[in-house]
Amino acid sequence: MKITWYGHSAFRLDFGGRGVLIDPFFTGNPAFTGNVDEIVAGVSHILLTHGHGDHVGDTLAIAERTGATVVTNYDLCMWLASQGLEKFDPMNTGGTTHQPGFSVTLVRADHSSGMGEAGVNVPLGNPNGLIVKPEGGPVVYHMGDTDIFGDMQLIAEIHAPKIAMVPIGDRFTMSPTTAALAVRRFFKLDAVIPCHYGSFPIIEQTADKFVAAMQGHATRVIVPQRNVAFAV
């Protein structure tokens, strides 16, 4: 599997000849410097953790352009459908959907989810983390936006992720030290990738504190360069 980070919480997974985008926030992302044409080439699916603009991002435009199927919670799927989305596979917390070559499970996240429309906030279902299980590949856990919570232990027991994307930005998610505590206490990962930092000025700008808090732990910490794919 190859993983590419595009800043904030946006990632691409490449495995089994397919490309999967997670939370494709490009337009308006201060940390994004990539080429969208190159990023969306070969994309078959878009997975969304929750209904905030910095995670839904360019989903509608990319789906229209590529024909990709969007997988996310039911409420967010229906809202995106009302905006013109045609291909989607709705689900909800605890459920699993099977896509060609992989499955997606939605798990809990402690956050919020909603979009502003005409000055009114529209709730868009529960926020989630994503468990992606490729056929013959490592289980990937994108935590979405969340605080630490004790049921992470159950997520680890049920799904046994080997790769995790962990938000460290503070203010809207876990702080770097709390994120490191979550990894150290609950998971047996091969690698952890910090995210949700270095974009907006009111959140953490580097992964340094997270890296420091993970020192001495067996889990490999990967702080990727933006737009550069790496193998796991």
Report pLDDT digits (tens) over 207-228.
999 999 999 999 999 999 999 9
**Per-domain boundaries in the chain:** 2-231
Q: Enter the tokens of residue 25.
A: 């926030």
Report pLDDT digits (tens) over 111-131.
999 998 778 899 999 999 999
CATH number, span 2-231: 3.60.15.10
pLDDT band at 138; cut points 50, 70, 90: very high
For residue 82, pLDDT beyond 80: yes
Which residues have a Cβ under 8 Å from the Cβ of 222 and sit 6 or more positions away?
A: 191, 192, 193, 230, 232
Report pLDDT digits (tens) over 167-208.
999 999 999 999 999 999 999 999 999 999 999 999 999 999
For residue 136, is it left (φ>0), alpha (ψ between -120 and 50) or beta? Answer: left
Rounded-to-integer distance, Cα 126 and Cα 48, Å: 12
What is the DSSP secondary-structure string of 44-84?
EEEE-S-S-HHHHTTHHHHHHHH-PEEEEEHHHHHHHHHTT
Instruction: Give the CA distances from residue 184 to residues 9, 19, 27, 147, 213, in Å, rounded to whole numbers and listed in that order.
Output: 21, 30, 34, 15, 9
pLDDT at 116 (0 to 100): 87
